[in-house]
Amino acid sequence: MKRQRTITQMREKGKNPENKLSNEEILSLQEKDFKFLMLKMIQDIGNKLEAKMDKLQETLSKEIQDIKLKQEEMQNTITEIKHSLEAVNSRIQEAEERISEVEDRLVEITDAEHKREKRLKTNEESLRELWDNVKCTNIRIIGVPEGEEREKGTEKIFQEILVENFPHMGKEPLTPIQEAQQVPHKINPRRNTPRHILIKLTKIKDKEKILKAAREKKQHKREPQ
């Protein structure tokens, strides 16, 4: 009767794990009942372990899934960064090519500008030389009455002026007159003064001799300038 009660208690306590057999109750068990108790305890432990393993596996599966999602997000981010870097590198390459083109164009413009400046300088020097040749040999005679130039001729008037004003120069040979004309070309009826005679000498040294003699004399007829 006691054994039957112990087995019944074991079954009831097996249903409710919180109720445990006392040491005395365990010691009073028969071998068959003890084995049954051990199997029951092992089964309970196995069930608990299985439940914990299931929960652990579920947790690990969830964490693995989260890790996979994060890896996928990171891979997408890396791909986006890679594409962005490729686009940036492409723009940098395009910018470098444009800069190179601009630099080449700037070199061409600079060379062209240097050549233009050189041509301008050459032209200016040629023009200055030409102007010096034209202007420096010109001498202007004022005070010659209108019509006298047609009657006597420019060279004769010029020689007369030299003889009248600078007798010593009349003995020195001068180069021939290259060109002579009255300026302005037309007579202005409103002007009472005669037109000037512009004489172009062949050499500048002849002009310098005449002007030097004029400065030394200070007063002279039909003044050369």
Q: What is the pLDDT along the chain (225 residues), one digit of tens a residue?
A: 444 454 555 455 544 444 566 666 666 666 777 777 778 888 888 888 888 888 998 999 999 999 999 999 999 999 999 999 999 999 999 999 999 999 999 999 999 999 998 888 888 778 766 765 666 677 777 777 777 777 777 778 888 877 777 777 656 666 677 777 776 666 666 666 777 787 888 777 777 888 887 777 765 555 455
Asked if 124 and 143 sit in the same domain, the reply is: no
Asked if 38 and 101 sit in the same domain, the reply is: no
Which tokens sit at 89? 């590198």
| Bridge partners, residue 183, by sequence | 196
pLDDT of residue 93: 92
Half-sphere exposure of 136 (CA within 13 A, CB side): 12
**pTM assigned to the model:** 0.35
127 is a domain residue: yes
**Which domain, by its residues, includes 112?**
78-135
Asked if 129 and 142 sit in the same domain, the reply is: no
73 is a domain residue: no
Find all residues with CB under 8 Å of 138, minimum gap 6, and list them.
Answer: 198, 199, 200, 201, 207
Amino acid at 211: L
pLDDT of residue 175: 62
The 10 Å Cβ neighbour count of residue 180 is 18
Residue 13 to residue 16: CA distance in whole angstroms: 5
72 is a domain residue: no
Query: Which helix or strand (DSSP H or E) is residue 88 part of?
Result: helix 31-135
Residue 222 — left, alpha, or beta (φ > 0 → left; ψ -120 to 50 → alpha)?
A: left
pLDDT of residue 1: 45
Residue 47 to residue 41: CA distance in whole angstroms: 10
Of how many residues is the chain composed? 225
Residue 202 to residue 120: CA distance in whole angstroms: 28
223 is a domain residue: no
- CA-only gyration radius of the chain, Å: 64
Half-sphere exposure of 127 (CA within 13 A, CB side): 6
Asked if 22 and 85 sit in the same domain, the reply is: no
Residue 225 to residue 221: CA distance in whole angstroms: 12
10 is a domain residue: yes
Residue 187 to residue 183: CA distance in whole angstroms: 9
pLDDT of residue 218: 63
Number of domains in the chain: 3
Is the CB of residue 177 less than 8 Å from the CB of residue 154?
yes
197 is a domain residue: yes
Asked if 104 and 124 sit in the same domain, the reply is: yes
Phi and psi torsions of 29, nearest 5°: -75, 145
